[in-house]
Amino acid sequence: MSGAPLVVVVGDSLLDRDVNGRVERLSPDAPVPVLDEADAAARPGGAALAATLAARDGHPVVLVTALARDSAGLELGALLAEQGVEVVDLGLDGATPEKIRFRSDGRPLMRLDRGGRRAESGAVTDSAREAIAAADAVLVADYGRGLAAAAGVRAALADRAANVPVVWDPHPRGAKPLPGMLIVTPNEAEARSLAPDTAAGARNGLARAADLATSLRAVWGALSVCVTRGADGALLVRGNGAPMAAPAPRAQGGDPCGAGDRFASKLALGLARGVPLEESVTAAVASASLFVSFGGAAAALRGERSEDATHVDGLDAVERVRAEGGTVVATGGCFDLLHAGHVRTLEAARRLGDCLVVCINSDDSVRRLKGADRPLVSQQDRASVLSALGCVDTVMVFGEDTPERVLRLVRPHVWAKGGDYDGQPLPEERVLREWGGRAVILPYVEGRSTTRLIEEAACRA
């Protein structure tokens, strides 16, 4: 994408395979389940996954990694090319690492690892140095196989860290992060294994994470350390002030595979765009939580769902209402500068059924519809404000001009629109007919509009 900041990912790449099927019997020669394979798919893993996720967000991405010339390595290289990731290959002396996950009806059954031994990559090349030197942000995705320990790579990273943000995602068997990194992002289990024993005596989860981050920041000489805590979000320690806690949006179920790479890649993208560190961490936590709830890496790379169609509180309430025979109501809009008219419309929509899903336009979608100076409030903040209303059960964000894709996901019984649509055909009606849903118009609240609020504010400025 022309003009977009360049993110360079440095680290060990893997090939992930998913084998899906169903277990309905045990083997006659041993009491073990027999998996009847339905389908299998390969996808980038390790640093290659982090690079792929960043590229799918629309940014130019260069991956500095080491690929073997075996069949798995060639397959991985082809997958990266399909995703638009430019690869600087240092060459791998050894087999391509593979992680093969077997699932029955979507549930993990076992994992088979291949090429697990540490393998040496080739010497750093001029192309690798040039890529790192050109980066607007660097993500080191260390998977413990030696690339982040290479002297030439570390020298190039140390030089670039003086000018651009470097995110270091460490590994218990990996290289020690270089001093002076902007942020190091271990998960809580990694932090416990990497921190000195003196950091292990904290009272509760949050205090323990703060002690671990503080201790590791001193050990590594990092400017900041962010300990990711799964469903509990993340905790950022920076300087001598109080740590920042970034809670995760409430979400149940899903697949955590790749969540760390989603967090780290989203964080690097935010920093590359100049977003402040605290805001970038908060956005990365929300993105990783949604990534997990939508099915993790396997679902993301199949394109089943994306973060342009995300929810704040999950779809659990919707499914419970549907299972109990209740009525699911949905409504939509930009909801930029939430005002009394919006609230009255949402309250009226909620009274039509047993739960309310609010579908809001993403920032890019609002810009296409309203102009380059909109929205005034980001999609993250608009979703957060809406989800805090008592009449709203779930918020979903869609990136298209119309909410057709998200409607097919929710399948509401009723689609409610504000009265300013009275007399006009609703574009959503065609989609609703697919499952027998109905569209209704709600009364218009006179004198309440975002445009009017913006105009009045401009006159008073």
**32 Cβ partners below 8 Å, 6+ apart?**
26
Kind and range of the H or E run holding 244: strand 244-246
Longest dimension (CA), the chain: 82
User: CA separation (Å) from 338 to 42, 350, 451?
Assistant: 44, 17, 11
8 A C-beta contact, residue 266 and residue 242: no
User: CA separation (Å) from 35 to 18, 22, 32, 98, 102?
Assistant: 13, 6, 10, 20, 8
Helices 47-56 and 71-82 meet at what angle, rounded to 10? Answer: 20
3-state secondary structure of 453: helix
- Strands in 199-346 per DSSP E: 224-228, 234-238, 244-246, 310-311, 328-333
Note the residue count of the chain. Answer: 461
For residue 238, the one-letter residue type is R
For residue 189, the one-letter residue type is A
**132 Cβ partners below 8 Å, 6+ apart?**
8, 10, 64, 138, 156, 157, 159, 160
d(CA 196, CA 208) in angstroms, rounded, equals 13
Residue where the block lists tokens 């400025």:
461
Specify which residues 395 forms β-bridges with.
358
d(CA 265, CA 47) in angstroms, rounded, equals 10
Identify the active-site residue in 12, 169, 261, 354: 261
User: Does 363 participate in catalysis according to the annotation?
Assistant: no
| Cis-peptide into 44, omega within 30 deg | no
Question: Rounded to the nearest 5°, which phi and psi values hold at 344?
Answer: -65, -40
User: CA separation (Å) from 302 to 152, 153, 238, 310?
Assistant: 36, 32, 37, 16
| DSSP structure class, residue 174 | S
Task: Establish how many alpha carbons lie within 13 A of residue 82's alpha carbon, considering only the half-sphere containing its beta carbon.
Answer: 12
Report the DSSP pairing between strands 98-104 and 13-26: parallel
d(CA 14, CA 119) in angstroms, rounded, equals 12
Report the DSSP pairing between strands 166-169 and 183-184: parallel
Which of the residues are catalytic? 261
